[in-house]
Structure 1
Amino acid sequence: MTRISLPGFDLDPDATDRPAVASRLQVADHDAEIPVHDHRKGQLILALHGAVTCEVANALWIVPPQCGVWIPGSMPHSNRATANARLCYLFVEPGVVGLPLHCVTLSISPMVREMILHLADVPQDYPRGGHVERLARVLLDELVQMPAERLYLPVSDHPKIRALAAALSANPADRSTISEWAKRLALGERTLTRLIDRETGLSFGRWRQQLHLLVAIRELAGGASVQRVSESLGYESVTAFITMFKKALGQSPTRYFAARLRNQDSAARGD
Structure 2
Amino acid sequence: MPILSTANVADWIEPDDVPRPIVAFGAAMPDDGGFELDPHRHRKGQMLLVQRGAISCEVAGGLWIVPPRSAIWVPGGALHSFRISGGLEGYCAFVDPALTEALPTSCCAVAVTPLLRELLARAAHLPYFYEEGGANSRLVSVILDELAAARVEDLHLPMPGDPRLRRIMDAMIATPSDRSSLAIWAKRAGLSERTMLRLVRRETGMSFGQWRRQLGVVLAVKWLAGGASIQRVSADLGYESVPSFVTMFRKALGTSPARYMAERHAG
- Range of TM-score over shorter length: over 0.9
Residue 218 of structure 2 corresponds to residue 249 of structure 1: no
Letter in 2 for 1:108: V
Q: CA 1:65–1:5 in 2, change beyond 3 Å: closer, same or farther?
A: closer
Q: Tell me the secondary structure at the aligned position of residue 80 of structure 1.
A: strand
Kept after mapping to 2: 8 A contact 1:45/1:90: yes
1:87-120 CA distance string (max 9 Å, x none)? 3111100021410111111101000011011111
* TM-score, L = length of structure 1: 0.93
Letter in 2 for 1:131: A
Shift of 1:81: 1.3
C-alpha distance in 1 between matches for 2:63 and 2:163: 16
Residue 168 of structure 2 corresponds to residue 141 of structure 1: no
Map of 2:61 onto structure 1: 58
Map of 1:73 onto structure 2: 76
Map of 1:163 onto structure 2: 167
Map of 1:119 onto structure 2: 123
Gaps of 5+ in 2: none
* TM-score, L = length of structure 2: 0.94
1:6-63 CA distance string (max 9 Å, x none)? 4334231111121111112211122111010001000011111110000002100011
Letter in 2 for 1:92: V
Q: CA 1:219–1:186 in 2, change beyond 3 Å: closer, same or farther?
A: same
Question: C-alpha root-mean-square deviation of aligned residues, in Å?
Answer: 1.3
Gaps of 5+ in 1: 266-271
Question: Which residue of the other structure, out of 234, 237, 240, is the alignment partner of 2:238?
Answer: 234
Kept after mapping to 1: 8 A contact 2:5/2:27: no
Instruction: Report how many residues are paired.
Output: 260
Map of 1:188 onto structure 2: 192
1:213-248 CA distance string (max 9 Å, x none)? 111000000000000000000000000000000100
Choose 163-172 or 229-238, whichever is displaced more.
Answer: 163-172
Q: Tell me the secondary structure at the aligned position of residue 214 of structure 1.
A: helix
Residue 176 of structure 2 corresponds to residue 172 of structure 1: yes
Q: Tell me the secondary structure at the aligned position of residue 11 of structure 1.
A: coil
Question: Which residue of the other structure, out of 21, 24, 27, is the alignment partner of 1:25?
Answer: 27
Map of 2:212 onto structure 1: 208
Q: Tell me the secondary structure at the aligned position of residue 95 of structure 1.
A: helix
Letter in 1 for 2:78: M
Map of 1:106 onto structure 2: 110
C-alpha distance in 2 between matches for 1:224 and 1:7: 26
